[in-house]
């Protein structure tokens, strides 16, 4: 038995009690499909009286058109506003006011798009919209979901939108699972998009804070917009500024009703319940919801990059840079190899880039390696670094490229390969130990790959990879013509 197999066997033994290995996981997951298309994944764990509940919808910013960019992120915000029975003091009285707010807001949006809008008419509509919103305030019950969950012992109530999917999550006492089903089923079938124009302004401010005035956000956004020419991965999840300003309530509602529906949804429940009872509960609350429309696949295919792309951005901040390479996505063999490359180059203080750039040569104050911006379609392998004064981005870039050439030309040692493999598997297994971690991974891989069993085969696929596989993958993808470089600096001028 090789040293690597001994290490993996030891890891397996340590984590068996937490159901954190692929083999028992395959036996523990119970699948159920509702007639409306909703997929339910269940794992019973009776060690604590809690349940992690994840609802993942296979729609994200990658599915938006030029008319709806930013809508998935906006809907993440809007779906906390309640339903016809939650978030309102009197929906019957509120409803006509909501219609009037939408009519006024829509007219104002259309007027602003005209080449030479009448300032007096704009001012009148703005005043009218403000007055209607003030009249609406008494009908609002703020943070209704958070309050209900908190009062019933739940924690971690949140949501996130990515390029590929949207997830709503919470962990709650096992005896409150029916409350979760009631709240989330009603939110799926009966959401009311309150405070639309107010929330749209909140998101515009979020964009200014996170991208337009933040050097890290600006670097990342510019990198994606430069590396991708055709594919919608080039667009920010939050949308461009003009996108947010012009999203209409009608477009947002249409996107919601089409896609945030059972046919695109996977639910994972992990924790203290009987599977038969949980299935009956989900059937009772979610089974009557209309299926919705399947999210269409993205037809755009990013053309092969045939030369280096390089952009310099002027910004009043310390210099920083990002280097990206196009790469295939899961479940291709090269995607598994990139998981190992990620460990070797950039994860931990003993990784190659950290040791060289930060510790030994002190060229940079930090270095980060990651995949971006999504996983459903071919994506990017990214290296970011912040130079340490007085070193320049050019010096840091040269050192990074030298390490990539080393990976292209020299085989990784058996010890370094084993270390990267075992650290990668340990990190993945650690994530599976918690109910929330397992629920998240089950829904994520079900949505992205069409089968949660990606988790089952992962350890075996990683264990099969060799040093030669790493070298071949590096030679294939770490090429000048496949490279995009973005530098944020105070000066547009060429570095000496």
Check residue 429 and give its pLDDT: 86
Check residue 3 and give its pLDDT: 40
Check residue 495 and give its pLDDT: 44
The residues, any chain, with a CB within 8 Å of residue 198's CB and separated by 6 or more, are 133
Residue 231 phi/psi, 5-degree rounding, is: -70, 140
Check residue 490 and give its pLDDT: 85
Instruction: Tell how far CA 476 is from the center of its chain.
Output: 27
Check residue 360 and give its pLDDT: 95
Q: What is the pTM of this model?
A: 0.90
List per-residue pLDDT tens for the chain, 496 residues long: 434 333 333 333 333 333 344 447 888 999 999 999 999 999 999 999 999 999 999 999 999 999 999 999 999 999 999 999 999 999 999 999 999 999 999 999 999 999 999 999 999 999 999 999 999 999 999 999 999 999 999 999 999 999 999 999 999 999 999 999 999 999 999 999 999 999 999 999 999 999 989 999 999 999 999 999 999 999 999 999 999 999 999 999 999 999 999 999 999 999 999 999 999 999 999 999 999 999 999 999 999 999 999 999 999 999 999 999 999 999 999 999 999 999 999 999 999 999 999 999 999 999 999 999 999 999 999 999 999 999 999 999 999 999 999 999 999 999 999 999 999 999 888 888 999 999 999 999 999 999 999 988 999 999 999 999 999 999 999 999 999 999 999 864 444 3
Check residue 15 and give its pLDDT: 39
Check residue 25 and give its pLDDT: 83
The residues, any chain, with a CB within 8 Å of residue 154's CB and separated by 6 or more, are 170, 171, 172, 173, 176, 180
Residue 277: enclosing H or E segment and its boundaries? helix 275-286
**Contact (CB, 8 A) for 39 and 452:** no
Supply 39's token pair.
């997929």
The residues, any chain, with a CB within 8 Å of residue 405's CB and separated by 6 or more, are 478
Distance (Å, rounded) from C-alpha 98 to C-alpha 427?
A: 48
Check residue 2 and give its pLDDT: 39
Supply 267's token pair.
């639910």
């Amino acid at each position: 038995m090789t040293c690597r197999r001994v290490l993996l066997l030891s890891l397996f033994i340590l984590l068996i009690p937490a159901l954190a290995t692929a083999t028992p996981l395959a036996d523990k997951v119970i699948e159920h499909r509702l007639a409306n298309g909703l997929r339910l994944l269940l794992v019973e764990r009776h060690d604590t009286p809690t349940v992690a509940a994840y609802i993942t919808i296979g729609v994200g910013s990658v599915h938006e058109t030029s008319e709806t960019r930013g809508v998935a992120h906006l809907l993440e915000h809007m779906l906390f506003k309640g339903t016809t029975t939650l978030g309102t003091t009197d929906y019957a009285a509120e409803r006509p006011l909501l219609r009037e707010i939408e009519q006024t807001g829509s007219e104002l949006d259309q007027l602003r798009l005209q080449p030479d809008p009448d300032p007096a008419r704009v001012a009148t509509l703005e005043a009218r919209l403000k007055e209607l919103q003030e009249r609406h305030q008494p009908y609002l019950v703020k943070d209704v979901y958070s309050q209900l969950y908190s009062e019933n012992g739940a924690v971690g109530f949140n949501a996130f939108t990515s390029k590929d999917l949207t997830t709503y999550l919470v962990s709650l006492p096992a005896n409150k699972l029916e409350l979760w089903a009631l709240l989330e089923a009603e939110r799926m079938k009966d959401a009311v998009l309150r405070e639309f124009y107010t929330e749209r302004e909140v998101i515009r401010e979020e964009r200014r804070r996170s991208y337009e005035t933040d050097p890290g956000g600006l670097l990342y956004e510019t990198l994606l917009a430069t590396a991708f020419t055709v594919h919608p991965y080039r667009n920010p999840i939050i949308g461009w500024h003009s996108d947010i300003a012009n999203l209409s309530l009608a477009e947002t509602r249409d996107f919601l009703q089409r896609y945030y529906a059972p046919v695109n949804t996977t639910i994972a429940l992990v924790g203290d319940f009987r599977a038969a009872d949980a299935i009956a509960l989900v059937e009772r609350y979610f089974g009557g919801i209309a299926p919705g429309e399947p999210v269409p696949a993205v037809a755009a295919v990013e053309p092969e990059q045939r030369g280096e792309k390089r952009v310099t951005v002027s910004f009043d901040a310390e210099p920083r840079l990002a280097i990206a390479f196009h790469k295939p996505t899961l479940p291709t063999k090269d995607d598994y190899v990139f998981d190992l490359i990620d460990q070797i180059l950039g994860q931990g203080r003993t990784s190659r880039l950290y040791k060289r750039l930060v510790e030994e040569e002190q060229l940079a104050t930090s270095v980060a390696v990651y995949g971006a911006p999504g996983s459903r379609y071919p994506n990017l392998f990214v290296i970011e670094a912040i130079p340490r004064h007085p070193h320049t981005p050019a010096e840091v870039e040269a050192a990074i490229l030298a390490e990539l050439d080393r990976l292209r030309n020299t085989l990784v040692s058996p010890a370094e390969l084993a270390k990267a493999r075992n650290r990668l598997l340990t990190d993945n297994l650690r994530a599976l130990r918690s109910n929330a971690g397992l629920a998240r991974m089950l829904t994520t891989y079900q949505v992205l790959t069409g089968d949660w069993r990606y988790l089952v085969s992962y350890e075996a696929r990683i264990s099969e990879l060799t040093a030669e596989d790493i070298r071949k993958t590096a030679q294939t993808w770490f090429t000048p013509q496949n490279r995009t470089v973005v530098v944020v600096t105070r000066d547009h001028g060429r570095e000496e």
